[in-house]
Amino acid sequence: MTDTFRFFLVQANPSLGDIAGNAAKALEFWQRGRAAGADLVALTEMFITGYQTQDLILKPAFHQEAIRAIEDLAQACADGPALGIGGPVLQNGRLFNGYYILEGGQVSARVLKHHLPNDAVFDEKRLFSSADVTGPYVVKGVRIGTPICEDAWHPDVAETLAETGAEILLIPNGSPYHRGKPNLRLNLMVERVVETGLPLIYLNMVGGQDDQVFDGSSMVLNRGGKLALQMPQFDEVAELVTFRRGAEGWQADQGQIAAIPPIGEADYRACVMGLGDYMRKSGFSKAVLGLSGGIDSAIVAAIAADALGAENVHCVMLPSEYTSQHSLEDAAEVARLLGARLDTVSIVGARGAVGDALAHVFQGTEPGVTEENIQSRLRGVMLMGISNKFGGLLLTTGNKSEVAVGYCTIYGDMNGGYNPIKDMYKTRVFLTARWRNENHRPWMKGPAGPVMPERVITKPPSAELRPDQRDDDSLPPYEVLDAILEGLIENDLSVADLVAQGFPRETVKRVEHLVYISEWKRFQSAPGVRLTQKAFWLDRRYPMVNRWRDGSGA
């Protein structure tokens, strides 16, 4: 009877659609596991394709290529440990989210996912068939049960596996980050261990894919829910874990317990990883952004420098006659502190030319928001021109507060291919800027020390599109606005609920109205990093045309 069993647990970053590259990566980790003396090298959910595939997985040529790649891997990994890898399974004309066990040159077992998540960012019922729950598979005499991701968030699959003889649970995941997710996973996995009496491996992928960031945080739990291993959040790592059989069953040797960073740091790391992977996996190496002297563009510049290196960040200041001297100074200081390139391109001449061209059409009207928006759109045109000419991805810099209420100009400051702070409210932008000024980590490619002047953080926010303009001329103070937005968006509170909390009804109704009438703008906005459970796009899906308003709280 086997008394020890060694897992080589791979917390890695696949690239969606790069089937050959993911297979090569899997083979490399398998070779490392073989050298380490592993019995089973384990990769994560849908590793061969990358995750989430969305409707791409429905394309027969795609899922058939992925299946062939797994079959080829089985032959390449014939002489050594078993390999566990996630990928699509096609059976009787039905497509499943599956987990393959490759051993001895062939596919020795396939596990099919039973519970298909169909909420938040997941649409798996649209893509896959639900499979019946099956029993464990055997590797070197050890019976291993594999609930796939969502299967472990419900008690029935793990309980069935325990009842049919599983000795260890190995759970491959594609679980994306949101605030508080590591603790949520830990609590649920402790429940599975307590319910089944079995030790458990929770193995999660890392890396950015579109708006989602997979944060790893893989773990091993022994009986009673005792943490035997905690892999670091966001890092691509692999660990050899030895299980030993005793009188009460299998138990993992104690390994490292990596600290899970606090939410402020985790959010910033997610923004850096999300931007870096979006660019790398899309083929971009350089970023362009408009640097206004304000806090939003400053924090985006810092995120870009930390993701790409400051030498790959091209900042552009686009002043008008309304741009203050302190904005010019602050933008220059941000670029200097980061070590990024800064060019200044005035929009005054272009604005005059557009004004002259439209003068006969606008004759008899008063200047207003239209003229302000022209300034923003001219900046967007110039930034897109620089992006096109030099091949850098244009980043847009609107925070969640602005995106929520439409305090942004379509085809102007909303221009860009990615927005790292799209899911970060303005009040949290301030906190994040202070955190970055006070902290530096090895994963940051930007410089240590303060990268934003104190004045950028403390001065009243302004779009500077007219004389003496301030954001709070048009919006409630951000601490009030964000509290109302969090109530309406994150918590789905009613107007009456917010009035009961002490907010003036007219303010709440105005914010609610702005949120609903701005849906069309968000529909056209750049993707951005998901930090919450109500990020704009897949988490929160509202109609663009909507005449309903909440009449409560009167």
Other beta carbons less than 10 A from residue 353's beta carbon: 11
DSSP state of 309: -
**Catalytic site residue 315?**
no
**Catalytic site residue 408?**
no
Residues near 190 by beta carbon (within 8 Å), at least 6 away in sequence:
221, 225
Residue from 25, 77, 103, 113 carrying the catalytic annotation: 113
CA torsion sign, 260 to 261 to 267 to 272? negative
CB 538 within 8 A of CB 277: no
Cα angle 275-281-382, degrees, rounded to a multiple of 5: 60
- Residue 412, judged by CB atoms within 10 A of its CB (0-12, 13-18, 19+), counts as buried
Number of Cα atoms under 13 Å in the Cβ half of residue 140: 16
**Catalytic site residue 45?**
yes
Among 59, 33, 171, 173, CA closest to 117: 173
What is the rounded distance in angstroms from the CA atom of residue 17 to the CA atom of residue 50? 6
CB 228 within 8 A of CB 244: no
Q: If you write DSSP's letter for every residue of 491-535 in order, what string do you get?
A: S---HHHHHHTT--HHHHHHHHHHHHHTHHHHHTSPPB---STT-
DSSP state of 398: -
Separation of first and last alpha carbons in the chain: 73
Burial 163-193 (b: 16+ CB within 10 A, else e): eeebbbbbbbbbbbbbbebbeebbeebbebb
If residue 330 lies in a helix (H) or strand (E), which one and from where to where?
helix 325-338
CB 352 within 8 A of CB 379: no
Residue from 149, 271, 315, 408 carrying the catalytic annotation: 149
Number of Cα atoms under 13 Å in the Cβ half of residue 391: 5
Cα angle 451-453-455, degrees, rounded to a multiple of 5: 155
Residue from 45, 103, 333, 464 carrying the catalytic annotation: 45
- Catalytic residue numbers read 45, 113, 149
